[in-house]
Amino acid sequence: MLGQSEPTSSTLQLVASDMTDIMEKLDTRELDLEDGEYDTTDSNAPAERLSFSAVYHTVGFKEPTAKVFLSSPITAKILEVERFTSAQDRFNHTTQRSVNKSMPAVYKIELKHGEFTWLVKKKEKHFMDLHRELRTYKTFMRLPLPSRSHTVKRQTATRSEVREMPNLPRGGGDELGREEQVSSRRKQLEDYLNNLLKMQMYRNYHATMEFIDVSQLSFIHDLGPKGLEGMVLKRSGGHRIPGMNCCGRSKMCYRWSKRWLVVKDSFLLYMKPDSGAISFVMLVDKEFNIKMDSKDTETKHGVRIDSLSRSLVLKCSSYRHARWWGQAIEGFVQKHGSAFLTDHRFGSFARQEENIPAKWYVNGKTYMEDVADALEEAKEEIFITDWWLSPEIFLKRPVVEGNRWRLDCILKRKAQQGVRIFVMLYKEVELALGINSGYSKRTLLHLHPNIKVMRHPDHVSSAVYLWAHHEKIIVIDQSVAFVGGIDLAYGRWDDREHRLTDVGSVTRSHLEQAEAASSSVAAPANGSGAVSHNNGKGIFTVTDSVDQPKLKGQGRMKRTRFSIRRHLQKHGLAQPDSDSDSDKETEERSGSVRSLHTGVGELFGNTRFWHGKDYCNFVHKDWIQLDKPFDDFIDRHTTPRMPWHDIASVVHGKAARDVARHFIQRWNFTKLVKPKYRSLSYPCLLPKSHTTAGEQRYQVPNCTHAKVQILRSASDWSAGIKYHEESIHNAYVHAIENSQHFVYIENQFFISCADNRHVFNKIGDTIAERIIRAYREGKRYRVYVVTPLLPGFEGDINTGGGSAIQAVMHFNYRTMNRGDHSIISQLRREMGDQWINYISIAGLRTHAELEGKLVTELIYVHSKMLIADDNTVIIGSANINDRSMLGKRDSEVAVIVEDSETVTAVMDGQEYQAGKYALQLRLECFKTILGAHTDPSIDVSDPISDHFYKEVWMATCARNATIYQKVFRCLPSSDVRNILELEGYLTKSGLDKEDPARAHEELKKIRGFLVQFPLQFLCEQNLLPPIGSKEAMVPMEVWT
């Protein structure tokens, strides 16, 4: 590393460092202590591994409570003595060598402690300074000072240790230079250091720890190998914060502060020595490099460390010090963190990881159950970021264990157990969106001090008005990561039934049954009265699921007593007294831990699945009054809910570490840009090392091992990085280009086909090019696109839907079949009407009976998924539109999963080795939307054969769409080409009104949920927002 000169006979001048009086031989026998014995137990010997949560408990470096070492010994070995004559020094350009110009020797010392090995370099002078300081400390320890902390210090030191401080023999004079003197001095210093490190009193002294370059973060197993550490001066500034850079490069702008630098395998950080607070973390990335030239550092003895997010300048004590540090940091990161230094496939920040346990989820039911179980297993940290988060949602339904599986209750329970919980919410523009993130933040913060919540962006200060944080991530202990399209929010929980109605409740007759049952099975001591609330319209609402019957382990009903006091507390009108009321909640929860997988059968009455605000139909009416979570806002006796179809995934190990790393980068960036989060109560987060990622404490059941890579859309405003990343976009394009047989896409939007004026992403064009290539080669190839029949904005489609719905429809149709850029227009130019054999665009719809009336509603497709060739899957939060894909706009996270385990399947009538993960996911999606779960005669095994494509897929689409139109006269419909035709279409009623019996017969022919997409709906209408409307005032890219 450093230009080392070997000790040859020509360079025999050994260093004469400033050896003053301290070099006298120190005889510790003179310091005999006669003031009583000391406690000889090592009071705070940590376990063999320091827990990761120690990073949240760092204290000032001089505090006696600082936990640094493991219980194993530390050994030191001086590997070599580096000697430089002045000729080798850059400050003296003469080539002559003379004895009186020799410089101090540097001892290169290797230290070992448990699993950690590291190097330090020290001069003789450093040994002298340490020895002098320890002597002072020793004398100080003999004085029985009256302060409590001093007494504690004296008690932890053993009497023998104080007495037997090792001797540091006097070093050689100026003219010593012979080899034997070098080696004997080396041996003396090595023995001195080893003896010192055996004595806990001296080893735990801050000066010793600084001498051997260790701190409270050195030996934490999950932070990986120990790199360079030490005290430096760092220069303020250098962050890449959009719109906030230091004006001018004059020295006046800068402040120098003394910090303790810690280098780890994939990041470096610095701490404030007086408080122990971690004040900055820099992640290693593809731009990471180190410059030591003074023109780069603009300071003497400086080291400049650059990354995508900051240019950090450090100042060292000498030229040699700066060279050693610059080279040591570079060498360590090259050796241990090389995976982070390069650009990876698709331009992602994360590399592809092999053999990762992964699992997919179709719909919120199974997803939320696994999330609840994983949260329950958390030991150290929980990270959550959502576009929208509703604290009061139930993760397991039907609700049979009181509030045990309500999100806020789970998080409170984990926080009380000492788990640190970090939540990042998108801060919406309140005029435009009603998701009330302020309420979510306040609710979570009031639960427990271990829960920290940040919102971002601040629209005014960051000048980000248009873009959102759209990702949906939950990470447990940085080793289990859920990634997908499902927010932990109202309306998302659903299963493969996609029910439209949920009027079920514990009705009075059921209450009587339950009463009888509970009294016959020995009524609980606290009485068995139950409460229901009638809101005046005869609609039965459950105020809070605490008031719902619970099934206990033995099947006995336990009822909760209704007390006025408790009811008032719930609505914030009375304070709980600590010992009784609030504890009752925990008592109730401890009952039954098992969840019911049997559905509704065993419960009394028809249990509700969707409570209060969770019962929603956002095209009919947007959410209001979110601070009253259990009050209905639409009448569930007249309006069907809007079912929610969605996809998510979970990954483990190194892939989960990568998801956590993205979260950590965003958290630390938000902490930096929002002054209110700079306080110590919002800590900087540290990424765990990839080296320990295999030590999986908990794994979600039923995973498949596969190759996984994490992808994201991120930029300066969202993650504080210099160059934006659009790896999701690149992966989509790559997957479509390289697909051999088919692509199946489910997405909430379908906005693509670049004109490089309004739309820029390439996904639609790639689909068209891939189909044209298949047509020219005469190969069979299919593209399936499933997308919502209407965009998810509030509006009455019976009057045209309103400007927001129409604006999104304009861009969706512009991608599908309208205008020269659209996919179908591109295909028609090449192959005429043959395009219909290559691509099918569809939506989902269902029907039900509500209070004796037939009703229908579209199923809202919120998924963001692509499956190619039954072996490659992309699941994430990114829609097919410019907002999600371009990287500079909304922030997104996705995973690409490529199968390594194969199973025998069918492709175009031939045997085919399909990937286990991708095949099972496609079969679940196809069976659900085509109705094969209930009708086993439907064969979905071959995704591209003519029989499947024409007689199953296309036939089901067409038949379902025709029946729904005949029965309900529903919208959108291709029969309505402009707003004038809309009224005429609606005046004619369907079979549901004219002949309900026949309507029932017709609806029996429906299979699954799939319906043809009405490609001609309002095709003669200009759907762009009319001039003068508020929608026309926002920039066009809001809709794309």
Residues carrying an active site annotation: 470, 472, 477, 862, 864, 869
Q: Is 643 left (phi over 0), alpha (psi -120 to 50) or beta?
A: beta
DSSP β-bridge partners for residue 897: 708, 873
* 116 beta partners: 113
Q: What angle do CA 499, 501, 503 make, to 5 degrees?
A: 135
Overall residue count recorded for the chain in this entry: 1040
Q: Please give the Cα distance from 184 to 161 (Å, whole number).
A: 26
Question: SS3 helix, strand, coil % of the chain, rounded to 5?
Answer: 35, 20, 45
Contact 993, 825 (CB under 8 A): no
* Number of helical H runs and strand E runs in the chain: 30, 35
**862: exposed, middle or buried (Cβ count in 10 Å: 0-12, 13-18, 19+):** buried
Q: Is the distance from CB of 278 to CB of 287 less than 8 angstroms? A: no
Q: Give the C-alpha separation, 266 to 336, whole Å.
A: 8
- Pairing, β 872-876 against β 864-868: antiparallel
Which candidate, 863, 880, 877, 871, places its Cα nearest to that of 925?
863
Q: How far apart are CA 45 and CA 948, in angstroms?
A: 68
Query: Phi, psi at residue 114, to the nearest 5°?
Result: 60, -130
In which element (H, E) is residue 424 found?
strand 420-426
Alpha-carbon distance 842 to 298, whole Å?
A: 61
How far apart are alpha carbons 473 and 423 in whole angstroms? 10
Question: How many Cβ atoms from other residues are within 10 Å of residue 582's Cβ?
Answer: 12
Place of tokens 């370099």: 121
Quick check: 846 and 855 in contact, CB under 8 A? no
Q: What would the DSSP string read from start to end of 903-946?
A: EEEEETTEEEEEEHHHHHHHHHHHHHHHTTTT-TT---S-SSSH
Cβ distance 230 to 213 under 8 Å? yes
Residue closest to 618 by CA, chosen among 494, 491, 428: 491
> 15 φ, ψ to 5°?
-40, 125
User: Collapsing DSSP states into helix, strand and coil, what is residue 744?
Assistant: strand
Q: Is the Cβ–Cβ distance between 227 and 264 less than 8 Å?
A: yes
d(CA 545, CA 493): 16
Phi, psi of 462 (to 5 degrees): -95, -5
